[in-house]
Structure 1
Amino acid sequence: MRTETGRTIHLADYRPTDFVLERVDLTFELDPTETKVEARLIFHRREGVAPSVPLVLDGDDLTMTSLLFDQIEMDPARYTATADSLTIRDLPASEPFEITITTQINPEANTQLMGLYRSNGIYCTQCEAEGFRRITYFPDRPDVLSVYTINIIADKDANPLLLSNGNYLGGAGYGEGKHFAAWFDPHPKPSYLFALVAGDLGVVEDTFTTMSGRDVTLKIYVEHGKEPRAAYAMDALKRSMKWDEEVFGREYDLDIFMIVAVSDFNMGAMENKGLNIFNDKYVLADPETATDQDYANIEAIIAHEYFHNWTGNRITCRDWFQLCLKEGLTVYRDHEFSADMRSRAVKRIAEVRHLRSEQFPEDAGPLAHPVRPNTYREINNFYTTTVYEKGSEVTRMIATILGAEDFKKGMDLYFERHDGDAATVEDFVKCFEDASGKDLSQFALWYSQAGTPHITVSTSYDANAATLSLSLDQMVPATPGQATKEPMHVPLSFALLCHDGSELTATAISGGTVTGNVLHLSERSQTFVFSGVTSRPVVSLNRGFSAPVVLHFNQSNEDLAHIARHEGDLFSRWQAITDMALPSLTAAASAAAKGDAVAVEPSLLSSLLAIAANEALEPAFRAQALTLPSESDIARAIGKDTDPDAIHAGRQAVLAAIAKAGEAQFEALFKTHSSSTAFTPDAEGAGRRALRNAALGYLSLSKNSPALASEAYAKADNMTDLAQALTILAHRFPDSSETAAALANFEQRFGSNALVLDKWFTIQATIPGEATLDRIQTLMKSTHYAASNPNRVRALVGTFAFSNPTGFNRRDGKAYHFFASQVLEIDQRNPQLAARLLTALRSWQMLEPNRANSAREALQIISSGSELSNDVRDIVDRILKG
């Protein structure tokens, strides 16, 4: 299963290791450029493996200085060492043996930020997926579990903190100017969960008492002076621990739980056992520097990494093909946590917005792959929205199919049966089958078939027979490597709404299985017939987005307006608004391309304004309803030959029409929700701010003046309002003096705060129009721009590519060529970051021909790069091939 550059790895080729690793003892003598790593590894040959089979260990750009066998220097004739592997021959046939490997690495020069690296004076590790092999030669795969003892030796003044996984054993002085610390993790784990941090950091401390009465020490380490900004993260951690006990019955299992926040990190966070390492943007927050979205992200990601303690650490994945087993499942758990902490409906809408904007295009393009892939060339490229978010949706569908009671039984059985295991998707699904007695074999196709199912729906009402027929046809489009697909088991939650808004209770008499309010579509075509339907109902289908599918249901605007007014499921209300809005927006794009006037469907206007005025609905939901489908949503609805400029112009015209029609109402909302109370990061306060800022956006359009947004910027007492006012100014009035003054003020106020300055870069990177490319190139020359920092690169270059359709997709193609040069440059120092940025071009074939040709040229420039990493080569080949 070892990954080699350019080699394709196949799930079907999996087999266990030839040797079993019993124990790992690591000693680190830290030095910025010459760190010494001694790894003492105890193995025994797996039963049935021939004595002639050698031990083969993974490496990545390693220099070995010593190799001992049972503490005796090994004969060079018995081994072969290269920078990328170590092969040892003539090993015992049955009894255990010890291999001691000493390597020397250079953390300071490790710009890939994988393995052990040093940045801003802090030693830090990132080992998932295959970073541990950059530290020492090792069987670096997730099914090799062992207990670890860690000794860390370092300069005491520069590195007062010496941290690793597990429980602290103790420490002391170690010669002149140095000290050491020892850690022991009693829970067997794979190498990707190893962690080490050393340096000088401040700390926030607390305790948590588990449900069995044990006291756990909690510590969050941050840069000195930033400790107050970690308070919300600590609160989120304690709530996560309590929630996991109450909802899933999972108790924490070590004496200490630590989080370290660092500024240079490729990922959002990493769940290393007992020592989570976080990108500091997901730890640090206060009202002056963090938006409501920042607070929500911190809460969710703190929870996600903590929940991994059981779904990922205690039970890990057998191989990287099973990545969804830890990531998709844990995303489901953090989604449920956030729904309980905040608004379930608003959270669900946000989840679906993200899924449609990121995962649906992935499913529909050249990078499409199943939730559990069956091949890969570079595993880092499969940390995708398909594995994470669609993987979460698959878990949610299991819960929908089984019901709450049987789902909980299945989860409990999974924890009981596989604690301490490296498990597979089959293991996971089997637990639910055994707990519920239901056959999930057809449902399991969700793990193996790529693509988003399309469901075509029609209805027929027979007044004389008092029956309603609901006909459904499913189709899963062809994807790379999968030309034909089998029918899926699709659970569709539904309601039949009467004219007074109440739900009709009807009996399904034929067509398929219906349990409660869920239709189980399992064939290519099915017609469900309901009896006792005394008048034609309005059908609300896929409530709560019970299945991640595309519905083709040609409902009238009258029916959609009825759902928007009466549905008890708030997600379905929002969906009805979306379904009314998209035809208006696509028509507006077509009209804008021709220079024609743009018309807005009256029922859309009335429904939007009715929801906005409905004080019985929570402000956060009303703000979501007022946020129309994005330009990428419209492009996806159009499908082929998309013109980003026309889409932008059409959407702006529709927004302006809504703004003009509802100006008085938006003024009332803006005044009503102008907060005079102290800032709180809870859902209620965030909802009020969201509705107020939605109203501000519409008012800025109706009045066609920057004055109101400029005033709002000047009066803002929190980052949410400040950033939103600045965004409105920059995006709608980019050339105004008010915008220039606000941008300069923001830079002056927050120029020393890297995380806040990322917002300044992001706001400018998303200014619509072709002039933004020049702005981007100017900003890259700023002293604030740090090309070595992933957060800064993502804030400017990444945001431009992913979130600025008109700026990135300039007609002349210059932005594509700029982007190609950036990908090639970044690839030289951080291939993982470069590959993830490159996915911004995954949908290039959907553009109109001139833009598509320019995008293809840029991809070919990248493809012809002389020294492409395996990460980038994999992505560019798949995008071009598709």
Structure 2
Amino acid sequence: MRTEQPKMIALSDYRLPDYLIDETHLTFELHESYALVHSRLLMQRNPGLDNSLPPLVLDGQQLELIDIELDGQQLSVIDYKLTENSLQVQPKQRAFELSTTVRIEPQKNTALEGLYKSSGMFCTQCEAEGFRKITYYLDRPDVMSRFTTTIHAQKHSYPILLSNGNPIAEGEDDDGRHWVTWEDPFKKPAYLFAIVAGDLWCVEDTFTTKSGREVVLRMYVEPENLDKCQHGMDSLKKAMRWDEEKYGREYDLDIFMIVAVNDFNMGAMENKGLNIFNSSCVLAKAESATDAAHQRIESIVAHEYFHNWSGNRVTCRDWFQLSLKEGFTVFRDSQFSADMNSAVVKRIEDVAYLRTHQFAEDAGPMAHPVRPEQYMEISNFYTLTIYEKGAEVVRMLHTLLGEETFRKGSDLYFERHDGQAVTCDDFIAAMESASGMDLTQFKRWYSQAGTPQLAVSDSYDAATQTYQLTVKQSCPDTPGQTNKLPFVIPLSMALLNQQGEAMPLQFEDESVAIADERVLSVTAAEQTFTFINVAEQPLPSLLRGFSAPVVLDYDYSRDQLVFLLQHDTDGFNRWEAGQQLSLQVIEEVVGQIYETDEPMMDSRLVAVFTALLEQDDLDPAMLAEIITLPSVGYIIEQYEQADPLAIHQAREYVSDQLAYALKEPMLARYQVLRKESLDTPYVAQASDIARRRLQNILLAYLIRTDDLDILDECVDQFGVADNMTERLAALACLVNSPFTEEAEHALESFSERFEDDPLVMDQWFSVQAAATLPGGLQRVQHLLAHPAFSIKNPNKVRAVIGAFSTQNTPNFHAHDGSGYAFLADKVIELDALNPQIAARIITPLTRWQRYDLHQQELMLAQLKRIKNSGDLSVDLFEVLEKSLSA
């Protein structure tokens, strides 16, 4: 049991580094049971500080110091101070050279930070603070250095030796070993350092930049994955061209490399010129990866590439500024994905994820501002708030400034700070300079936690043709923050007439109507906006395109929601009207469940879905999104204290009622789409993805009717599909149906076909772990014993334990608390192996305040049991402390 309180690190305590590292020269000697790391650092006293020479304190963890020299003189144990986390020496002059040799054991590194082995391959993950597990260093992002790296290894086992930058020399050693030296011409912090050594095969391509330079593109994979590289390579080239055209950013090295790694805590890492990817985020082909996986890969490849400027060339000064690079880059990759696919559907997907997950984070014990004020363990702050909400903050700037001015601001930001480690304030300052706007109040988005709430009311005076919209904003208290000040909230809106057309909008101080859609800048706790020459009682279309990450409260009637769903000219708000209508219907059924055994569903939902299914000109992608009911997770977030089992039951009831009521039009539409799929070769492009998405949504409804003819349709789709999208969707339908014999046969067939493909087997695991039929925990326990499962692999953990605890509502939230006890057991086990994954997988238990009293007691008991289980990692300890003190 932990007896010492981990140290809290505060933004207010930031100080410039005492010393800088001008050059970093590293030599790695890689062996099967250990590695030696020789480091030669050319250092100087920070010229921005005084002339004193304080002790030099280098970060280091889990290192065995073999040798140390200062300016060529070997130091004895009395010349330095060694602790569990640092090495301290006393420089004798302002400029000096420090050399060390350390011994590490990558083979035993199950935390997957620093240098470790994955499937026989050496690789690194240094963000945020993994480099200190490689050698003694100033492991902080504001210390930037030029790196030269030499790697020695056995040539037969590790023929490929990679690092950042460009290769400048190579040669042979004795005893069958070889070496390669890499030089990175750009200064970078240690978190962007990378090496890879393995028996890898390479897929190569080229890209010609706008200035005419030819860049070599290489993707390194294990030989069995060679046929899964093309989509990732195509995505990279699209991203490179898009970044040149959209942001004027050209790639700056002669070579760009991607390596696919099976064991990785995150999705990917943007190391300069040598991106390391979780295999699931870069490898794809039609037979083994779904449409969603193809789109995810396209987005992640772009994200990591875009980091070359928004993260690498301009990096963050300290980890409190993490959203400076991540939020900005998520916004950029979202823009890219919108341009490559359907912009409206991409926005819907992003918002659905944000509201279900990030809003829950804002309402939970781990709530924090986009720029946190303090932390114990920085790994815990790679959060949805940093990434997704950070992207929404940048999106609001883009909305307020307009695309042209925002581009000027981003150009100015890159020009001012190229090669520097900077802050969120520097980013805002560039936008202020480019626009002439005062963004002081806007910066509250960086310092205040929580999800703002907008309460909107309106009034119409027919006699004067005047319409008033009153907006009140507030933000709930969050840990450590009360009494929030007003934000700057861009509220995009329109007024619709009785035909569903957007009306001209004219403020009372304007001589003419400027447009039929306006962005209102909400800056006060309460504001009223007055429009004149409004010819009839309008229906407001509010928060169009989800122009701000807020909760909107406007008292729409169900008839008004039906109208908006059918007529709103904003695609996002059409979907949103459907979500709110479905939400109201489900919530009504939840209430009925407590009162009667025979709930009744509002027929208006059936009527409007029927009309939409018969609307031939509606984009299939939009129709698929509209008829998909709000997730259980999102519905839970609408309650102060939710009963997850009642919510699941109500959602299932509504889904069943829709399936039976709409069976005929759904089946007719499904069969048309299915024939198109059979007649069309697989292509991962927007129109085909939309067709398959709608087809699979319809099948998921139809299987609920227990019709044997539909069962045959489902079994046929599973058996003859030429792509994983259709096959996996059919498998999920079977696994969640009462047709157990067909489901077992399909599962067996699937595993036999794909047993040698770990990424596909992860999907097989997830389908079963998320299945909501009774007996879910027993199925999951059985999966943990499967030969393809390993608790040391983060992808497997997410596929089984993560899918069960986040997607399987009735089994995870079982009334006896068995699901909670299971998750607690696995968190304890994981913390000893991989603290980062343990601290993330515990999240469902940390949301205990959102549930009813019975669930709260059960969850709290498991959180306390974990806390008392032994010597916890700092990662897990911080999450538990905040969760239990909420």
TM range, normalised to the smaller chain?
over 0.9
User: Structure 1, residues 534-581: CA drift from partner, whole Å, max 9, x if none?
Assistant: 101110000000000001111122222222112221111000111111
TM-score, structure 1 as length reference: 0.97
Letter in 2 for 1:44: Q
User: Is 1:685 matched with 2:688?
Assistant: yes
Q: Tell me the equivalent position of 1:197.
A: 196
SS in 1 for 2:719: helix
**Cα contact 1:598–1:654 (8 A) shared by 2:** no
Q: Tell me the equivalent position of 1:263.
A: 262
Q: Tell me the equivalent position of 1:423.
A: 422
**Cα contact 1:60–1:84 (8 A) shared by 2:** yes
Q: Tell me the equivalent position of 2:24.
A: 24
Q: Tell me the equivalent position of 2:168.
A: 169
**Cα contact 2:164–2:182 (8 A) shared by 1:** yes
User: Structure 1, residues 630-663: CA drift from partner, whole Å, max 9, x if none?
Assistant: 11112112331x2222111111111122122221
SS in 2 for 1:678: coil
Q: Tell me the equivalent position of 1:725.
A: 730
Alignment of 1:245-644 (within 5 A): 245-509=244-508, 517-640=518-641, 642-644=642-644
**Cα contact 1:669–1:691 (8 A) shared by 2:** no
Q: CA deviation at 1:119?
A: 2.1
Question: Percent of pairs identical after alignment?
Answer: 46
Alignment of 1:814-829 (within 5 A): 814-829=818-833
C-alpha distance in structure 1 between counterparts of 2:707 and 2:858, whole Å = 35
SS in 1 for 2:293: helix
C-alpha distance in structure 2 between counterparts of 1:614 and 1:202, whole Å = 50
C-alpha distance in structure 2 between counterparts of 1:514 and 1:791, whole Å = 52
**Cα contact 1:497–1:540 (8 A) shared by 2:** yes
Q: Tell me the equivalent position of 1:782.
A: 786
Q: CA deviation at 1:472?
A: 0.9
**Cα contact 1:785–1:792 (8 A) shared by 2:** yes
**Which residue of the other structure, out of 711, 714, 724, is the alignment partner of 1:709?**
714
C-alpha distance in structure 2 between counterparts of 1:635 and 1:17, whole Å = 46
C-alpha distance in structure 1 between counterparts of 2:53 and 2:227, whole Å = 59
**Cα contact 1:770–1:810 (8 A) shared by 2:** no
Aligned-pair Cα RMSD in Å: 1.5
**Cα contact 1:5–1:870 (8 A) shared by 2:** no
C-alpha distance in structure 2 between counterparts of 1:121 and 1:103, whole Å = 22
Q: Tell me the equivalent position of 1:37.
A: 37
**Cα contact 1:26–1:38 (8 A) shared by 2:** yes
Letter in 2 for 1:74: L
Letter in 1 for 2:384: T
Give the aligned length. 874
Q: CA deviation at 1:93?
A: 3.9
Alignment of 1:139-218 (within 5 A): 139-218=138-217
TM-score, structure 2 as length reference: 0.97
Q: CA deviation at 1:409?
A: 0.8
C-alpha distance in structure 2 between counterparts of 1:453 and 1:510, whole Å = 29
Q: CA deviation at 1:218?
A: 0.2
Q: CA deviation at 1:786?
A: 1.1
Which segment is superposed worse, 39-48 or 282-291?
39-48
Letter in 2 for 1:871: D
Q: Tell me the equivalent position of 2:59.
A: 58
Letter in 1 for 2:404: E
C-alpha distance in structure 1 between counterparts of 2:500 and 2:370, whole Å = 38
Q: Tell me the equivalent position of 2:750.
A: 746
Q: CA deviation at 1:716?
A: 2.0
In structure 1, runs of 5+ residues without a counterpart are none
Q: Tell me the equivalent position of 1:72.
A: 73
Which segment is superposed worse, 522-531 or 123-132?
522-531
Q: CA deviation at 1:514?
A: 10
C-alpha distance in structure 1 between counterparts of 2:372 and 2:360, whole Å = 17
User: Structure 1, residues 458-496: CA drift from partner, whole Å, max 9, x if none?
Assistant: 111110010111111111000000011001110011111
C-alpha distance in structure 2 between counterparts of 1:597 and 1:537, whole Å = 38
**Cα contact 1:362–1:842 (8 A) shared by 2:** no
**Which residue of the other structure, out of 673, 695, 699, is the alignment partner of 1:696?**
699
C-alpha distance in structure 2 between counterparts of 1:168 and 1:185, whole Å = 9
C-alpha distance in structure 2 between counterparts of 1:720 and 1:639, whole Å = 37
Q: CA deviation at 1:714?
A: 2.1
C-alpha distance in structure 1 between counterparts of 2:105 and 2:335, whole Å = 42
Q: Tell me the equivalent position of 1:852.
A: 856
**Cα contact 1:51–1:93 (8 A) shared by 2:** no
Q: CA deviation at 1:311?
A: 0.3
Which segment is superposed worse, 774-783 or 346-355?
774-783
C-alpha distance in structure 1 between counterparts of 2:59 and 2:549, whole Å = 38
C-alpha distance in structure 2 between counterparts of 1:615 and 1:123, whole Å = 54
**Cα contact 1:433–1:440 (8 A) shared by 2:** yes
C-alpha distance in structure 1 between counterparts of 2:618 and 2:574, whole Å = 11
Q: Tell me the equivalent position of 2:235.
A: 236
**Cα contact 1:289–1:718 (8 A) shared by 2:** yes
* CA shift in 2, pair 1:593/1:724, >3 Å: farther
Letter in 1 for 2:136: Y
Q: Tell me the equivalent position of 1:221.
A: 220
SS in 2 for 1:86: strand
**Cα contact 1:20–1:45 (8 A) shared by 2:** yes
Q: CA deviation at 1:110?
A: 0.6
Letter in 1 for 2:150: N
**Cα contact 1:131–1:192 (8 A) shared by 2:** yes
C-alpha distance in structure 2 between counterparts of 1:425 and 1:172, whole Å = 45
Letter in 1 for 2:616: E
User: Structure 1, residues 671-722: CA drift from partner, whole Å, max 9, x if none?
Assistant: 1111121000111111000111111112112345544322322232211111
Letter in 2 for 1:38: H
C-alpha distance in structure 1 between counterparts of 2:647 and 2:283, whole Å = 37
C-alpha distance in structure 2 between counterparts of 1:108 and 1:342, whole Å = 42
C-alpha distance in structure 2 between counterparts of 1:427 and 1:18, whole Å = 22
Q: CA deviation at 1:334?
A: 0.3
User: Structure 1, residues 70-116: CA drift from partner, whole Å, max 9, x if none?
Assistant: 12202432211123100001x2343x110001100001011111000
**Cα contact 1:229–1:284 (8 A) shared by 2:** yes
* CA shift in 2, pair 1:14/1:281, >3 Å: same
C-alpha distance in structure 1 between counterparts of 2:277 and 2:568, whole Å = 40
Which segment is superposed worse, 434-443 or 713-722?
713-722
SS in 2 for 1:450: coil
C-alpha distance in structure 2 between counterparts of 1:613 and 1:299, whole Å = 33
Letter in 2 for 1:717: D
Letter in 2 for 1:100: S
**Cα contact 2:867–2:877 (8 A) shared by 1:** yes
C-alpha distance in structure 1 between counterparts of 2:245 and 2:658, whole Å = 45
User: Structure 1, residues 414-464: CA drift from partner, whole Å, max 9, x if none?
Assistant: 011111110101000000111000011111101110000011111111100
C-alpha distance in structure 2 between counterparts of 1:855 and 1:708, whole Å = 42
**Which residue of the other structure, out of 823, 836, 840, is the alignment partner of 1:836?**
840
Q: CA deviation at 1:736?
A: 1.6
Which segment is superposed worse, 280-289 or 652-661?
652-661
SS in 2 for 1:628: coil
C-alpha distance in structure 1 between counterparts of 2:218 and 2:561, whole Å = 51
SS in 2 for 1:226: helix
C-alpha distance in structure 1 between counterparts of 2:514 and 2:847, whole Å = 37
C-alpha distance in structure 1 between counterparts of 2:128 and 2:230, whole Å = 30
